Structure 1
Amino acid sequence: MKKKVYHWQPELSTAIIYWSCTFGILFLSLILTLEHTRPYLISNIVLGIFIFFAFLGCNRYFIIDDEYLIIHAILPIRRKKITLSAIEMIRVGPKCIEVNSPELKEETQMFIMTKKNKAAFIEKLKQQELFTAKIIDDPELTISKHY
């Protein structure tokens, strides 16, 4: 059986930078297309690069295993496997969640999620036996870090 994935985006500033650069590649491809009246190899290659980066940008997700929360990110070095029992607290905001765990690099990490994905993710976490963390509903939690 295939595991359910819950898609996320990084905190706001990182997401804006990534998607701005990605759509910049698309606009470059469109500009190159306008330079010629017939299909142009270079503009198609640049469009292919845009599609590749758009796919990578949508390839961030969580997988909840029996013992672990797997955080799948674009770069393999940023992918993490956190023990469910090591998660101390999850703050749930209107558009994001914040996970606190000593197994994370900064001990806390913010993830932007859609309401539907966020609700399904929290419900699945609550069903896990090893998950003992507090889940705090925080309407004040915003999608950008400000420490």
Structure 2
Amino acid sequence: MKKKVYHWQPELSTAIIYWSCTFGILFLSLILTLEHTRPYLISNIVLGIFFFFALVGCNRYFMIEDEQLIVHALLPIRRKKITLSAIEMIRVGPKCIEISSPGFKEGTQLFIMTKKNKVAFIKSMKQQSLLSATIIDDPQLTISKHY
């Protein structure tokens, strides 16, 4: 059986910085392409770098396996396996969710998700028997962290 993954993006400022740099690489490739009238090796290499970063940027997801929530992030260092019993609270906003757990560096982490992914993820989490966290629907939760 294929494992279900739920894609997410980081909080707003980090997502904006990452995707701005990624599309900057695309525009650099297009500028290099305009400099020559025939296919140009350097512009194609830069375009390949753009596609690499675009694929890597879309490779952030949750996966629920056995008794753990696997948070697959961009860098291997930031990937986490959190036991479902360690999750204290899940706040669900209109465009994002916030998960509170001691497994995260700051205690909580914000994840931007599409409505379809968010609904499927929450439904799947509610079906887990080991999850003791409270799931709160919070319409005031925004996609950026406020400190």
Partners in 2 of 1:122 and 1:129 — Cα distance? 13
Counting matched residue pairs gives 147
Give CA-to-partner distance per residue, 1:59-92, whole Å, 9 cap, x none: 0000011200000001000000000000000000
Map of 1:68 onto structure 2: 68
Partners in 2 of 1:125 and 1:66 — Cα distance? 12
Map of 1:95 onto structure 2: 95
User: What letter matches 1:123 in structure 2?
Assistant: K
Map of 1:137 onto structure 2: 137
Map of 1:24 onto structure 2: 24
1:105 Cα offset (Å)? 1.0
Task: Give yes or no for contact 1:6–1:117 (8 Å, CA) kept in 2.
Answer: yes
User: What letter matches 2:8 in structure 1?
Assistant: W
Structure 1 unaligned blocks of 5 or more: none
User: What letter matches 1:58 in structure 2?
Assistant: C
Structure 2 unaligned blocks of 5 or more: none
Between the aligned residues of both structures, percent identity stands at: 84
Residue 111 (1) aligns with residue 111 (2):
yes
RMSD: 0.4
Map of 2:3 onto structure 1: 3
Partners in 1 of 2:2 and 2:131 — Cα distance? 21
Partners in 2 of 1:10 and 1:109 — Cα distance? 9
TM-score using structure 2 length: 0.99
Task: Give yes or no for contact 1:8–1:111 (8 Å, CA) kept in 2.
Answer: yes
Partners in 2 of 1:132 and 1:121 — Cα distance? 16
User: What letter matches 1:17 in structure 2?
Assistant: I
Give CA-to-partner distance per residue, 1:101-128, whole Å, 9 cap, x none: 0111111000000000000000000001
- Moved beyond 3 Å, runs of 4+: none
TM-score using structure 1 length: 0.99
